[in-house]
Structure formats: structure tokens, C-alpha cells
Structure 1
Amino acid sequence: MQSAQAIVLVVEDEVLIRMDVVDQLSALGYSIIEACNGREALEVAQQYEAIDILFTDIDMPGDVDGLTLAHEIRASRPEIGIIVTSGKPLLGEARLPEGSRFYPKPYLSTTVHATIQEMVMRPG
């Protein structure tokens, strides 16, 4: 089965974790754009029209954490699929933007891949 191609914005402040995520998603055939924090991710999202998926950690330094980023992206770019992850439990999924998904760390790359495929293939 052919995978739908997607451009994924990966936002993670821990460099080794970001490298691992980028390697996993690249191996699955996705094009990757990286950002090290929420503020940088917002700037990247303004520059690149073709982003299909936001994949973000919650806990990041600075004034824009992953949840704030997810809500900002949903408000400004509702066509982008959103996957949120964290090493800590999420207190109530109601805090996530509508239509987004949460995966606790460690997550399976196959689960993330299936979610990306679902988000990319959904009717516009």
C-alpha cells in the first residue's frame, strides 16, 4: 500500500528526541521541517504553506508550549493535522484542539504513521 506523502513540522526542544522523531518519520517517507520550540514553530508555519501535520511535544521552554502552539495552529491553519505528545500524562483531552490526537511517550512510530495517514487522507 502506498503511503500518502506529507510534510510534517516536528517541534521538540530535546535535540536527541527530535533527531529520533525526524529519523523515524523520514524513514517512513515524510518530508520534515524542524523547530526547537513553539515560537519558532509559529514562525515556520507562517513561512511554509505546505505543512500537512504538526507533531509537537507539550513541555517546551519559552512563552509558547505545545498546547498553546496546537491551539494557535488550529486557529490560523485549520487544515493542518495535529499530533501532540508528552512524557507526562495529559490532564483532560478537552485541552487539545478539536480533531487533534495525543500520544504519551514512548509512542509507537507505527501508531503515529497510521494517524498521519488518516489525517492526510481525510476529506478536505
Structure 2
Amino acid sequence: MVAVEMLEVAGWTALEAADADEAMLLLERRSDIAVLFTDVDMPGSMDGFELATQVASRWPHIRLVLTSGRLRPSNDDVPDSGQFVAKPYRTSQLLEAFRNAG
């Protein structure tokens, strides 16, 4: 919820999904999503990496930004030239990741 507020203050429109399955449903129903921002550790049938991989395959125009408080992958580990931002992050770090994603 903090990330949603950060993004909305910066002028983005943010949609929230409770898990990866709900995120996929949102993506299937909408054509105006430009960036997927997901935690690596999330509930549902897949984790954030799997979600990002599926999104990159099905919607290559959507940029990918992943986060985690436990893992520290490199940007090279994120599918489709996506970005990783470690928790805790500042607004400036999150927005920079959005700008630099794919």
C-alpha cells in the first residue's frame, strides 16, 4: 500500500492485486497497463518471478519491476530487461526502476 501511495503521488495510476492470479486477471482484462510492479514473495499459484516471466511472454510491452525484502537478485535476473529494487526503498529508487525498466 505504501508503494501505491508513492506511485500515485508521482502521477501514476496504480491497480492492486491480492495475488499473482488476480494480477493475471487484471492484465487479461485491461490493455492500458504499462508496468508490472510485484513482490517476489507473493501468494497465489506463482511467485513474482514466475508472474514476471508470464507477463514478459504474453505482454512484451509491459515493463517489469520486482521487489523483495529477502532476496537480492540482480537486474539481469529479472525477465525482459526488468528492474529489481530492494526493500526498503525510497520513492526515488522506485521511480528510477520504473524509468529504467525494459
TM-score between both structures, scaled by the size of structure 2: 0.89
Distance 1:31 1:21 in 2: 11
1:116 to 92, 98, 101: 98
Bigger Rg, which one: 1
- Deviation of residue 100 (structure 1)? 0.5
Q: Which runs of 5+ in 2 are unaligned?
A: none
Structure 1 or 2: larger strand share?
1
- Deviation of residue 48 (structure 1)? 0.7
Matched, 1:42 2:33: no
Contact 2:83 2:98 (C-alpha < 8 Å) held by counterparts:
no
Structure 2 residue identity aligned to 1:72: Q
Shift in CA distance, 110/93, structure 1 to aligned 2, threshold 3 Å: closer
Matched, 1:80 2:80: no
- Deviation of residue 102 (structure 1)? 0.7
Residues 62-101 of structure 1 aligned to structure 2 (within 5 Å)? 62-91=44-73, 94-101=76-83
2:89 to 107, 117, 122: 107
Shift in CA distance, 27/58, structure 1 to aligned 2, threshold 3 Å: same
Residue in 2 aligned with 1:52?
34
Higher RCO, Cα 8 Å, sep 6+: 1
Shift in CA distance, 20/77, structure 1 to aligned 2, threshold 3 Å: same
Distance 2:74 2:96 in 1: 23
Percent identical residues? 30
Distance 1:23 1:51 in 2: 17
Q: RMSD of the alignment, in Å?
A: 1.8
Q: Number of paired residues?
A: 102
